[in-house]
Amino acid sequence: MINIIIPTPNVTITKQVDPQESNIYGFTEFHLITRELGGIFMFYNDKDELLFVGKARKLRPRIKKHFEDTVSPIRMHRDEVTKIEVCIVEDPVHREIYETYIINEGKAKYNEDKVFFRQA
């Protein structure tokens, strides 16, 4: 049996209510997320339910893209996201393993690929 321990998030940002500064869907602290390093990211709702898990070679641009482009799996659910957790994971093989594991252990609501559980 393989024992996988999910890394502790390096950065957590939360949605602001009525933000006064520049924001994307209420998130004002994207600058805290590394632009250059790779890792995994998790989107949660206000009930702390896991909505979506992804991986990226460069985290900040990839996460922002989920809030901007028209083909993101969360495009219809962007308003639900209230917290983003980011874990730095430089090794691409490790990113792949963590992403698949977290999707299935956390039963991520909007992931379509790499799902081995059935949605209720």
Question: What are the chain's domains?
Answer: 11-106 (3.40.1440.10)
Instruction: Work out the pLDDT band at 113, boundaries 50, 70, 90.
Output: confident
Segment 84-109 shows an average pLDDT of 96
pLDDT digits (tens, 9 = 90+) for 28-75: 999 999 999 999 999 999 999 999 999 999 999 999 999 999 989 999
Contact (CB, 8 A) for 98 and 6: yes
- SS3 for the chain, per residue? CCCCCCCCCCEEEECCCCCCCCCECCECCHHHCCCCCCEEEEEECCCCCEEEEEEECCHHHHHHHHCCCCCCCCCCCHHHCCEEEEEECCCHHHHHHHHHHHHHHCCCCCCCCCCCCCCC
Instruction: Work out the pLDDT band at 118, boundaries 50, 70, 90.
Output: low
